Amino acid sequence: MRTLTALCVAILAAANAAAADAPAANADKAAIQALEDTFNEGFNARDVDKIMSVYAKHLFVFDVVVPREYTSWEAYKKDFEELFATFPGPLKNTISEQTIHVVGTIAYGHNIETGEFTGKDGTKQKIVVRTTDIYRKMGGKWLIVEEHNSVPIDLQTMKPDLLSKP
């Protein structure tokens, strides 16, 4: 009986602790969602400085374009500059299916980004990218410290599925 009582007390204490942290987690989730919104606003405005404001200076990224990885903030900034130079026409990026999970000063989440681009010759290109981010709260501010962007590969053709669906 004592074991059962101790177990119930422990469960209630844990539930109370989790409930007490819920408002903080909700505020952190809202701050991270605002970070993702800032990224998307910057992307759609071709504002590389605004885009990069959501990333930590010590950054690691796997992107869908070469090179395989970016190991610095400066290198990833150049990637965005090259992207916008390659597609100088109208563009639009949308973020959907955003998830955010907060664990103390670390958080992680994923989303689907659908980009619509216009090349120098007017050719339109659409791509659906899977993005996973790791966030860290530093100095009271959430930033992306690691990112992985990918597209699925069709194993029959070994070609990327640029318009992937669930």
Residue 166 domain flag: no
Residue 98 domain flag: yes
From first to last of the 166 residues of the chain, give the pLDDT tens digit: 555 444 444 443 444 444 435 677 899 999 999 999 999 999 999 999 999 999 999 999 999 999 999 999 999 999 999 999 999 999 999 999 999 999 999 999 999 999 999 999 999 999 999 999 999 999 999 999 999 999 999 999 999 999 999 8
The total number of structural domains that make up the chain:
1
Q: Which domain covers residue 85, as residue numbers?
A: 2-160
Residue 7 domain flag: yes
Task: Please give the Cα distance from 150 to 10 (Å, whole number).
Answer: 42
DSSP codes joined into one string, the chain: -HHHHHHHHHHHHHHHHHHHHHHHHHHHHHHHHHHHHHHHHHHHTT-HHHHHTTEEEEEEEE-SSSSSEE-SHHHHHHHHHHHHHH--S--EEEEEEEEEEEETTEEEEEEEEEEEEE-TTS-EEEEEEEEEEEEEEETTEEEEEEEEEE--EETTTTEE-TT---
Residue 36 domain flag: yes
